[in-house]
Amino acid sequence: MHLTTDEERVLAGDEGLGRQKAMELLVALGDIYDADRLIPVVSAQVSGASFKTIGEAGISWLESMSSEARASVPAMVNPLGLDLERWRSMGVSEDFHGKQARIVAAYDSMGLLPVYSCTPYLAGHRPAAGDHLAWAESSATVFANSFIGARTNREGGPSALAAAVIGKTANYGLHLDENRVPRVEVRFEEVPADMAPLAGYLAGKVAGNRVPLVRGLRMSEDEHKSFGAAMAATGGVSAYAFPKEDGGRVSDTSHIEECTTLGIEDILRCREDLRGDDDWDLVAIGCPHCSPRELEAMAGFLRGRTPSRQGDVWFCTSRETYARCPEAVSILNRFGKVLCDTCMVVSPIEDRYCSTATNSGKAMAYLPTLGRQRASYRSTEELLEAISR
């Protein structure tokens, strides 16, 4: 990979050990993927923020970086293992909180922004079409590439942090036109867009890690958010295209090698397979983090109703969205907890719950493994009906 004179200086350590380590990492990645050069990024989003997912080894690495490295572009962080304000009410232990606090302190001292969310694009950090990014969270990556038209690979935590420090990333993968061309088509027939989490769950299995062209679903922004998240979880999809008639952009379809059609019967079968049982310890909504529209729509449904459930209910969102929707938050807080900075997958729910119901295709992919839960899929409306009367 070609480096400029300034980049060579950073690599030689002339600008300190932190920038040198970050540059070494970017150069190694660039060499592996045969990148021609480094390109500037508008922002970074770093994963590996919950003590549950990174453990002691992750803390040690972050603390070693934090004494030497500083972010040089706006850099956000993925959800933590707890709500920084309401962690006691989540049942999180003092010990876990102490470890989590060290992670937060390390990111703080590196100058990362205290935006602990998988939806940074709803929290004041929405890129523009064509912007190059270094984002790590899979659901944010697929949303940025596909709905917004920005360009990012699905970074790992360390490579996103290195990009935050240098302000650049290696020019390969989804930064290049040729890798954004769809190779497979997934066509939905008579599938309503509000079944996006299930549609994404199935489409991810079809697409694997290819870029699919998705036809036949005319989705809202929030439905794209759920759809892409599920597809990135069951497959390795980091970008999809969708045609003009579904609200997308024109895309080159000349490289499509395979087409799969999914009808309503496939979606209903998937819904049945994911139905699980009715015996839930926790109802968890907000994977990816709820948007203002979603919080307000749920509050509108629940306004005038009363809570009907003993078990816990979580609505996960970003702190920015929480602050923007005080009225909706106060209604939802009567039926459960509106939690910020965290989610049902990266918090230690397995310490407290065994069975979780969710409206998220992505959470259905991760709750049984990372969360050690019996997981049950229900639509948002079914969950709101279940928690109220």
Interface contacts to ligand F3S, rule CB under 6 A: 78-79, 118, 139, 229, 287-289, 316, 343, 345-346, 362-363, 366
Of 19 and 289, CB closest to ligand F3S? 289
> Shortest distance, CB of residue 117 to ligand F3S, whole angstroms?
8
Rounded to whole angstroms, how far apart are CA atoms 9 and 14?
5
Q: Quote the least distance from Cβ 195 to ligand F3S, whole Å.
A: 18
Q: Which is nearer to ligand F3S, 251 or 318 (CB)?
A: 318
Tokens representing 313 are 């209910």
In the complex with ligand F3S, the residue whose CB is nearer, 103 or 363, is 363
As measured in angstroms, the least distance from the Cβ of 233 to ligand F3S is 8
SS3 338: strand
Q: CB nearer to ligand F3S: give 270 or 316.
A: 316
Nearer to ligand F3S, 52 or 99 (CB): 52
Side-by-side strand order, sheet with 184-189: 212-215, 184-189, 258-263
Type of residue found at 145: N
Instruction: Please say which residue, 284 or 384, places its beta carbon nearer to ligand F3S.
Output: 284
Instruction: State the amino acid at position 77 in one-letter form.
Output: V
Give the amino acid at 298: M
Closest CA to 147 of 164, 126, 163, 168: 126
Query: C-beta of 142: minimal distance to ligand F3S in Å?
Result: 10
Cβ 103 to ligand F3S, closest distance in Å?
15
Is 126 or 305 the residue whose CB approaches ligand F3S more closely?
A: 126
Shortest approach of ligand F3S to residue 48 CB, angstroms?
Answer: 11
Tokens of 23: 């540059």
- The Cα–Cα gap between 104 and 72 comes to 18
Helices within the chain (DSSP H only)? 5-11, 17-32, 51-66, 94-109, 138-143, 157-166, 196-207, 221-234, 264-273, 292-302, 319-324, 326-335, 361-366, 380-386
CB of 166 or CB of 383, closer to ligand F3S: 383
> Which residue's structure tokens are 């997934």?
186
Angle at 114 between CA 112 and CA 119, to 5 degrees: 100
Question: Which secondary-structure segment (H or E) carries 212?
Answer: strand 212-215
Of 172 and 227, which CB lies nearer to ligand F3S in the complex structure?
Answer: 227
- Considering the complex, what minimum distance in angstroms separates the CB of residue 327 from ligand F3S? 23
CB of 379 to ligand F3S, least distance (A): 17
C-alpha radius of gyration, the chain, whole number = 21
Provide, rounded to whole angstroms, the least separation between the CB of residue 213 and ligand F3S: 23
Q: How far apart are the C-alpha atoms of 133 and 160, rounded to whole Å?
A: 9
Which of 154, 143, 161, 212 shows the shortest CA–CA distance to 183? 212
Q: Which amino acid is at 23?
A: M
Do residues 161 and 69 lie in contact, with contact meaning Cβ atoms separated by under 8 Å?
A: yes
